[in-house]
């Protein structure tokens, strides 16, 4: 149009369109929603109990302060400054680091497959609680009546309808939430879900504290065994728990931070998330052990003599056994399983959002299309793998490899790419300081690098142990296919996906906030960011 030639100025540099949280509270609740999950309810109490009881709080707190919070800040800084799902954000961190992001995406994809299965069991148990269907023989009910467990170390194709029906229901709910988008789906789920979850859990814990024997349970959990502090495995367990519990190194916090607005305080909300998660963990520990104290009291044994204090058996055998004995058990049971479903759903949505966001960024898909694609594919795989009579064994194996090796590798490569290879450490530190009320300081970067060294040790230690000792008594072929196979899958995704062409123009990008606001010296970040050309000419 030649009518107003003087107005035809070149368009200002545009920022890519990205969904946004409606505010800081929405972000905090979503991040807490991701962090608070099965790890808090069934993993933490068992870990604490096995690793020194009350004394475990020392390595746990040290791990939170030296690794949890620093890595949480790192992910928030990467996600916010480079605004993208892990592959996009990491590509902007360093042009050869896109694969690190895909590693995160692949881990999230795998976790989504089996996390949903556990939620499906919890959903079934919510309904079983009304009639206390598991009352007579909780262990037999779980393994034979419900899961119809086949032989360990085999892969069965006979499906279990009782598991598949709730599994399909969980996937349907998850797909709808993701397809509604960040605002109407993920955000609303957490704004409503997290307060409800905390309130429900408080009711459960207060009830548990009034059971006979509750004090014995708390004694078992909190009596410190200081000798445990000399054992390196106890420290490794504490670091592992912090990573899992805060959802670190899965790319979730990168993704969630990428939806924050330009002027967003990063560190203070990070602390709220970290301490909020640990508070819930402590609350869950108290509730679980008070209840175990009651069961031990009933059976006339010590808490330490009870079987199934950790993992799935805690929630699906030991807890039902307790509930069946307790006055008002049906109500209490329904509340417990409802909170398990809710806590898990907010975590599940966060892992799948990472996969969906990555496909949106790479392929230019709309949120709804990506959600349906990711959710649909995952649902089918999840049903084939975990809806059968051998689902529990597969879950156990895949979980062990993806969590013990996968995420440790995800964390090491992320730190290596951002701080060592990309030399973004100071830039990210200034970024945090420029937008946040609470400045991280120099010690932050040192901690981040030190954590990476510790993780390298953990990775080698675990890999060697798994290779030599195997796991869980499963046959070697089974572990090679499903355990090491999981690792091969993760590695293939990380290596191959970067070769796929970006279907969206990601070049018109300026890191947030502006260089002036940051007071950056002229040399920082120029090489990788401002002159960055995704078509490989730079
Ligand atoms: N943080 C979650 C929990 O405590 C676990 C989780 C980790 C969920 C990673 C999703 C992804 O249960």
Residue 507 CA to ligand 1 centre (angstroms)? 33
pLDDT of residue 215: 95
* In the chain, domain spans: 24-529
Q: How far is CA 521 from CA 157, 427, 443, 518, 524, in A?
A: 61, 10, 21, 9, 6
Do the Cβ atoms of 118 and 351 come closer than 8 Å? no
The CB of 35 under 6 Å from ligand 1? The reply is yes
The whole-angstrom separation of Cα 256 and Cα 86 is 10
Do the Cβ atoms of 250 and 104 come closer than 8 Å? yes
Strands (E) in 229-337, as ranges, are none
Nearest to 343 by CA among 41, 125, 114, 47: 41
Do the Cβ atoms of 403 and 164 come closer than 8 Å? no
SS3 159: strand
Q: How far is CA 64 from CA 44, 96, 451, 518, in A?
A: 13, 30, 11, 28
The CB of 250 under 6 Å from ligand 1? The reply is yes
Nearest to 145 by CA among 131, 128, 157: 128
* N residues, the chain: 538
pLDDT of residue 532: 32
Nearest to 411 by CA among 88, 86, 33, 95: 86
The CB of 247 under 6 Å from ligand 1? The reply is yes
To the nearest 10 degrees (0 to 180), the angle between helices 69-82 and 86-93 is 90
Residue 245 CA to ligand 1 centre (angstroms)? 6
Nearest to 273 by CA among 257, 261, 288: 257
Phi and psi at residue 372, to the nearest 5°: -70, -40
Residue 213 CA to ligand 1 centre (angstroms)? 31
Asked if CATH classification 1.10.3470 holds for the domain at 24-529, the reply, yes or no, is no
The whole-angstrom separation of Cα 338 and Cα 1 is 61
Residue 140 CA to ligand 1 centre (angstroms)? 28
Q: What is the DSSP string of 376-412?
A: HHHHHHHHHHHSBTTHHHHHHHHHHHIIIIIHHHHHH
Q: Which helix (H) or strand (E) holds 47?
A: helix 44-50
Residue 115 CA to ligand 1 centre (angstroms)? 9
Pocket test for ligand 1, best of 35, 42, 106, 252 (most atoms within 8 A of CB): 35
State which ligand 1 atom lies nearest to the alpha carbon of 35: 1
Q: How far is CA 137 from CA 259, 315, 319, 393, in A?
A: 48, 14, 12, 21
Do the Cβ atoms of 246 and 35 come closer than 8 Å? yes
The whole-angstrom separation of Cα 193 and Cα 371 is 20
Q: What is the DSSP string of 333-356?
A: HHHHHHHHHHHHHHHHHHHHHHHH
Do the Cβ atoms of 388 and 159 come closer than 8 Å? yes
The whole-angstrom separation of Cα 36 and Cα 281 is 8
pLDDT digits 0-9 by tens, 475-521: 999 999 999 999 999 999 999 999 999 998 887 788 776 656 555 55
pLDDT of residue 91: 96
Q: Most distant CA pair in the chain: distance in Å?
A: 92
State which ligand 1 atom lies nearest to the alpha carbon of 350: 10
The CB of 39 under 6 Å from ligand 1? The reply is yes
Long-range contacts of 325-330 (CB under 8 A, 24+ apart): 325/294, 325/295, 325/298, 326/211, 326/294, 328/207, 329/129, 329/132, 330/129, 330/130, 330/131, 330/132
- Positive or negative: CA dihedral 496, 509, 68, 232: positive
Residue 523 CA to ligand 1 centre (angstroms)? 38
pLDDT digits 0-9 by tens, 330-368: 999 999 999 999 999 999 999 999 999 999 999 999 999
The CB of 244 under 6 Å from ligand 1? The reply is yes
The whole-angstrom separation of Cα 141 and Cα 147 is 8
Beta bridge partners of 366: none
The whole-angstrom separation of Cα 313 and Cα 9 is 67
Nearest to 74 by CA among 245, 238, 254: 254
pLDDT of residue 522: 59
Pocket test for ligand 1, best of 41, 108, 116, 247 (most atoms within 8 A of CB): 247
The whole-angstrom separation of Cα 512 and Cα 436 is 13
pLDDT of residue 3: 46
Say what the pTM is: 0.91
Q: How far is CA 197 from CA 26, 137, 181, 399, in A?
A: 16, 29, 22, 25
The CB of 351 under 6 Å from ligand 1? The reply is yes
The whole-angstrom separation of Cα 184 and Cα 191 is 11
Q: Is the preceding peptide bond at 513 cis, omega within 30 degrees of 0?
A: yes
Tens-level pLDDT at each residue, the chain (538 residues):
444 544 455 444 444 678 999 999 999 999 999 999 998 998 898 888 889 888 999 999 999 999 999 999 999 999 999 999 999 999 999 999 999 999 999 999 999 999 999 999 999 999 999 999 999 999 999 999 999 989 888 888 889 999 999 999 999 999 999 999 999 999 999 999 999 999 999 999 999 999 999 999 999 899 999 999 999 889 988 998 999 999 999 999 999 999 998 878 999 999 999 999 999 999 999 998 999 899 999 989 888 888 777 678 888 998 899 888 888 899 999 999 999 999 999 999 999 999 999 999 999 999 999 999 999 999 999 999 999 999 999 998 999 898 888 888 999 999 999 999 999 999 999 899 888 888 888 899 999 999 999 999 999 999 999 999 999 899 999 999 999 999 999 999 999 999 999 998 887 788 776 656 555 555 554 433 333 333 333 3
Do the Cβ atoms of 284 and 40 come closer than 8 Å? yes
Residue 231 buriedness (CB in 10 A; 0-12 / 13-18 / 19+): middle
The CB of 124 under 6 Å from ligand 1? The reply is no
pLDDT of residue 527: 39
């Amino acid at each position: 149009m030649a009518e107003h030639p003087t107005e035809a100025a070149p368009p200002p540099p545009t920022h890519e369109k990205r969904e946004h949280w409606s505010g800081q509270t929405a972000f905090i609740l979503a991040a807490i929603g991701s962090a608070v999950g099965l790890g808090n309810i069934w993993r933490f109490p068992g870990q604490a109990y096995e690793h020194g009881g009350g004394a475990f709080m020392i390595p746990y707190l040290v791990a939170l302060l030296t690794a949890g919070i620093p890595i949480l800040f790192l992910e928030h800084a990467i996600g916010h400054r480079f605004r993208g799902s892990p592959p996009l954000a990491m590509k902007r961190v360093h042009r050869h680091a896109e694969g690190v992001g895909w590693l995160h995406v692949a881990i999230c994809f795998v976790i989504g497959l089996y996390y949903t299965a556990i939620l499906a069991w919890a959903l079934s148990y919510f309904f079983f609680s009304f009639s206390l269907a598991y009352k007579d023989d909780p262990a037999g009910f779980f393994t034979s009546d419900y899961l119809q467990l086949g032989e360990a170390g085999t892969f069965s194709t006979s499906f279990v309808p009782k598991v598949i029906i709730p599994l399909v229901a969980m996937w349907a709910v998850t797909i709808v939430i993701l397809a509604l988008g960040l605002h109407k789906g993920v955000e609303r789920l957490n704004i409503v879900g997290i307060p409800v979850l905390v309130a429900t859990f408080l009711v459960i814990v207060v009830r548990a504290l009034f059971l006979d024997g509750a004090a014995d349970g708390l004694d078992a959990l909190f009596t410190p065994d200081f000798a445990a502090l000399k054992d390196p495995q106890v420290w490794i367990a504490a670091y592992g728990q912090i990573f899992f519990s805060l959802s670190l190194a899965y790319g979730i916090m990168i993704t969630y931070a990428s939806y924050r607005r330009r002027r967003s305080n990063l560190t203070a909300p990070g602390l709220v998330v970290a301490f909020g998660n640990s508070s819930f963990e402590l609350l869950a520990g108290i509730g679980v052990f008070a209840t175990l104290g009651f069961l031990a009291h009933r059976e006339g044994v010590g808490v330490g003599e009870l079987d199934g204090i950790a993992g799935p058996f805690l929630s699906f055998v030991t807890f039902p056994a307790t509930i069946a004995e307790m006055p008002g058990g049906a109500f209490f049971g329904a509340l417990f399983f409802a909170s398990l479903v809710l806590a898990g759903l907010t975590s599940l949505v966060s892992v799948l959002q990472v996969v969906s966001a990555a496909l949106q960024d790479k392929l230019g898909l709309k949120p709804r299309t990506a959600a349906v694609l990711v959710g649909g594919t995952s649902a089918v795989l999840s049903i084939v793998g975990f809806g059968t009579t051998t689902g529990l064994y597969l879950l156990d194996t895949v979980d062990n490899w993806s969590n013990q090796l996968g995420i440790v590798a995800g964390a090491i490569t992320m730190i290596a790419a951002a701080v060592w290879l990309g030399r973004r450490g100071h830039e990210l530190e200034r970024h945090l300081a420029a937008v946040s009320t609470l400045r991280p300081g120099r010690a932050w970067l040192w901690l981040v690098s030190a954590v990476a060294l510790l993780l390298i040790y953990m990775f080698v230690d675990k890999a060697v142990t798994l290779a030599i000792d195997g796991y869980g008594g499963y046959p070697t072929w089974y572990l090679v296919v499903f355990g090491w196979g999981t690792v091969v899958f993760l590695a293939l995704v990380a290596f191959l996906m970067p070769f796929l062409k970006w279907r969206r123009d990601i070049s018109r990008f300026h890191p947030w906030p502006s260089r002036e606001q940051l007071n950056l010296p002229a040399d920082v970040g120029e090489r990788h960011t401002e002159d960055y050309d995704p078509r490989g000419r730079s």
